[in-house]
A and B are shown apart, each in its own frame.
Chain A
Amino acid sequence: MPASRSDRLGGSPVPSGDRPSGFFRRVHRSVFRHSLQDTPRNRSLAVFMNFFLHFHPVKVRRRAIMFRQTFYLGGLTAATFLLLIASGMLLMLYYHPSVPRAYADMKDLAYVVPMGLFIRNFHRWAAHAMVALAFLHMLRVFYAGAYRPPREFNWVVGVNLLIGTLLLSYTGYLLPWDQLSYWGVMVGTNILKSVPVVGEKIQFLLLGGKSVGANALIRFYVLHCVFLPLVLTLGIGVHIWRIRKDGGLFLADEARVDGVGSPAGTMEDD
C-alpha cells in the first residue's frame, strides 16, 4: 500500500494487522487526522488539531498541572458553568416565566417530572458551588501573586467574571417565585433606589415596574437564560485565552527568574 496522507501525519509505520481496517480507519482519519499510535507527534496533533483542546498549549509545565498548585479552582469554576448550562436547559423545558405558573412548575418538578427535583437541586447546588469556587479562585490567584503584571488585565477580566457570576446567580434566585426568592430580590433591588438621580430609573428598567412582579420575572428570566450566559461565555473565553497570551499559568519562582520580584505574599519562597 502506498503511503497515504494519514500515514505521513501518523508517525512511524506499524504492521497493517495492528490497525483498524479500511473503512473505520478512513472515518477515524477524517475526524482526527492522525493515528492512535502513542507518539510525541500524535500527542501534539491531538491538541492542535482539535477544536475543543486548542485552548491548551501542546505542552505544559509539570508543576502547573499539579493539584496543589492551583487546586484546579479556575477549571472547576468553568466546569460548574458548563454543568449549569446543561441542567439549566433541562429546567427550561419545564419552566414558564409567568405568575403564578412559575411556582406551579416548581411543584411539578418536585412531584410530577421524573428526576425533576434532582435536576433542580443539581442546578441550585452547582450555582452555589460556582459562586464559592470563583471566590476561592480569586483568593488563590491573589495569594499566589498571579494578579501582577503581565497578568493584570486578566485579573480585571476575572473580577468582572465574578460580578457576572453573582448577577447570574441573583437573577436565577427570583425564578422559583416563592417567598424566599421574591423577598430576596426585593431587598436587593430596593438598594438600587438609593442611587442618586438615576436610582429609581435603573430599578424601573430592571423590574419593568416599581416593584417585583410579573414584568420583573420575565426580565430576570431573559437576563438569566440568554443575556448573562452569553456575556459570561465570552468573558470566560477571553479569560482562558489570556492565560496563554500572558505567559501561561503563573508559577511562584517565575518572577524571581525574571527579576521582577517575588509573589505578592512572600519575600522569599517559604
Chain B
Amino acid sequence: MPGVDPKLVLDPAAVPGPDSVRITVVDEESAHPLLDTTGDEGLTTVPHLVMREIVAFCVLVGAIALLSYLVDAPLRDVANPSKTPNPAKAPWYFLGLQELLHYYPPIISGIVLPGLAVLALMVVPYFDINIHRPAFLSGAHFRRHLAAVWAVGIVLIVGFLVSSAAGPVWPLIGTTLFLLMVISVPLVAGRERGPGRWIATRSLPFWIFTWFVLSAVVLTVIGTFFRGPGWSFVMPWEGGFHV
C-alpha cells in the first residue's frame, strides 16, 4: 500500500468492511520498562523517604565521628625521597594491583589487566550473555555447560601456573579452583533443592563477575595483610600489616 508509514502494520484478518482498517502501532521504545509496572503501593516521598534519608545520614555521621574520635589517621615521618620504606605500599584499594605487580611486569599488571577489568565492567550490560532465563546450568545441557566451565578454568589455572616469572600466581589459582568447586556442587547435591539448586540457577555473568570480585578481594587481602619486606609472604602479626 503506497504512502503508509511502515510502522503502521495492516492486519488484513481484522478488516471488517471495505472502508475500514484496523491498524497496530508498533512502538519500539516501549520495549523498555520506563514506567512503573510493578503495581506496588506508592508512598509519598515526604515524609517516608526523606525521613529515612535523614536517619541514615545521621547514623553515617555518627559512625564516622565515633571512628574519628577513637582512631587517629596515620602520619609517619616527613616525606624523604632518599629513604625508601620496605615494603613501600600503596593505599589499600590499590594493594590488589600491587600484589599483581609482584607476578607480572608493570605494563601487564598495572595497565593491561586493570584496563581489561574496567572495560569488562563497562560492557557487561551490553552483551546479552545468558542474562535471561533459563540460567545456563539449569537446562538440559547442564553437564556439557559445566564441562565447558571446567575447560576454561583449567586453561586459566595452567596459565597462572606458568605465565609468571615469580612462580605460580597462587591467589588467582586458589580463587579459580574454589569457584570451580562451588559451581560443581549440583553434580553431587543435585539441582532440585538446597545449595545445589541455588548454584544451578545462577547465570553466567554471575560467575564471571564473582570471579573478578573474589580475585580482587583475595589479591587485596594478601597485599594488605600478608606482605612484608621485599614483598615476601609474612603473617599479619609478623609485620605483614601496613595501612
A-side residues, CB < 8 A to B, are: 40, 43-44, 46-47, 53, 56-65, 67, 72, 75-76, 79-80, 83, 99-100, 103, 106, 110, 117-118, 120-126, 128-129, 131, 139, 142-143, 145, 147-152, 155-156, 159, 163, 166, 169-170, 173, 176-184, 186-188, 190-196, 211-213, 245-248, 251, 253-255, 257-258, 260-262, 264-268, 270
CB of B201 to closest CB in A, whole Å: 4
Q: Is the CB of A182 within 8 A of B80?
A: yes
- With A76-B56, A194-B107 as known contacts, state yes or no: A248 contacts B46, CB within 8 Å: no
* Bound Cα distance A182, B90 (Å): 9
What are 22 of the A-B contact pairs (CB < 8 Å)?
A57-B45, A58-B45, A65-B48, A72-B52, A76-B56, A76-B60, A79-B57, A124-B68, A129-B60, A142-B209, A149-B32, A150-B33, A151-B125, A155-B122, A184-B90, A187-B88, A258-B33, A261-B132, A266-B201, A266-B202, A267-B133, A268-B133
Give the number of residue pairs across the A-B interface with Cβ within 8 Å.
234
Q: Is the CB of B72 within 8 A of A117?
A: yes
- In this complex, what residue of B is CB-closest to A179? B76
Q: Is the CB of B61 within 8 A of A83?
A: yes
Task: Enumerate chain A residues within 8 angstroms of B105, measured Cβ to Cβ.
Answer: 194
Nearest 8 A-B pairs (CB), nearest first?
Answer: A191-B110, A152-B125, A182-B79, A261-B132, A121-B68, A194-B106, A124-B73, A183-B88
* Bound Cα distance A106, B50 (Å): 38
* Bound Cα distance A187, B94 (Å): 10
Task: Enumerate chain A residues within 8 angstroms of B111, measured Cβ to Cβ.
Answer: 191, 194-195
Task: Enumerate chain A residues within 8 angstroms of B37, measured Cβ to Cβ.
Answer: 254, 257-258
Count contacts on B: residues with CB < 8 A to the other chain. 80
Task: Enumerate chain A residues within 8 angstroms of B126, measured Cβ to Cβ.
Answer: 152
- With A122-B65, A191-B111, A267-B135 as known contacts, state yes or no: A177 contacts B78, CB within 8 Å: yes
* Bound Cα distance A140, B108 (Å): 29
CB of A191 to closest CB in B, whole Å: 3
Q: Is the CB of B90 within 8 A of A187?
A: yes
* Bound Cα distance A83, B58 (Å): 11
Q: Is the CB of B49 within 8 A of A65?
A: yes
CB of A59 to closest CB in B, whole Å: 4
Q: Is the CB of B45 within 8 A of A56?
A: yes
Q: Is the CB of B40 within 8 A of A62?
A: yes
Task: Enumerate chain B residues within 8 angstroms of A155, measured Cβ to Cβ.
Answer: 122, 124-125
- In this complex, what residue of B is CB-closest to A193? B106
B11 close to A (CB within 8 Å): no
* Bound Cα distance A118, B68 (Å): 6
A interface footprint on B97-115 (CB within 8 Å = 1, 0 otherwise): 1100100011100110000
A interface footprint on B122-137 (CB within 8 Å = 1, 0 otherwise): 1011100001111100
Task: Enumerate chain A residues within 8 angstroms of B124, measured Cβ to Cβ.
Answer: 147, 155
- With A148-B131, A178-B77, A265-B202 as known contacts, state yes or no: A121 contacts B40, CB within 8 Å: no
Task: Enumerate chain A residues within 8 angstroms of B77, measured Cβ to Cβ.
Answer: 178-179
Task: Enumerate chain A residues within 8 angstroms of B73, measured Cβ to Cβ.
Answer: 120-121, 123-125
CB of A173 to closest CB in B, whole Å: 5
B91 close to A (CB within 8 Å): yes
Known: A83-B61, A121-B73, A184-B88. 16 other contacts (CB 8 A): A47-B44, A53-B50, A59-B43, A60-B49, A65-B49, A103-B78, A123-B73, A126-B64, A148-B131, A159-B121, A170-B94, A178-B76, A179-B77, A187-B94, A194-B107, A258-B33
Q: Is the CB of B79 within 8 A of A177?
A: yes
Task: Enumerate chain A residues within 8 angstroms of B53, measured Cβ to Cβ.
Answer: 75
Q: Which residue of A156, A211, A247 contacts B33 across the interface (Cβ within 8 Å)?
A: A247
Task: Enumerate chain A residues within 8 angstroms of B80, measured Cβ to Cβ.
Answer: 179, 182
* Bound Cα distance A176, B218 (Å): 29
CB of B161 to closest CB in A, whole Å: 24
Q: Is the CB of A267 within 8 A of B138?
A: yes
- With A125-B64, A148-B125, A268-B201 as known contacts, state yes or no: A182 contacts B106, CB within 8 Å: no
* Bound Cα distance A67, B53 (Å): 10
B75 close to A (CB within 8 Å): yes
* Bound Cα distance A159, B76 (Å): 33
- In this complex, what residue of B is CB-closest to A120? B73
Task: Enumerate chain B residues within 8 angstroms of A159, measured Cβ to Cβ.
Answer: 118, 121-122
B2 close to A (CB within 8 Å): no
B67 close to A (CB within 8 Å): yes
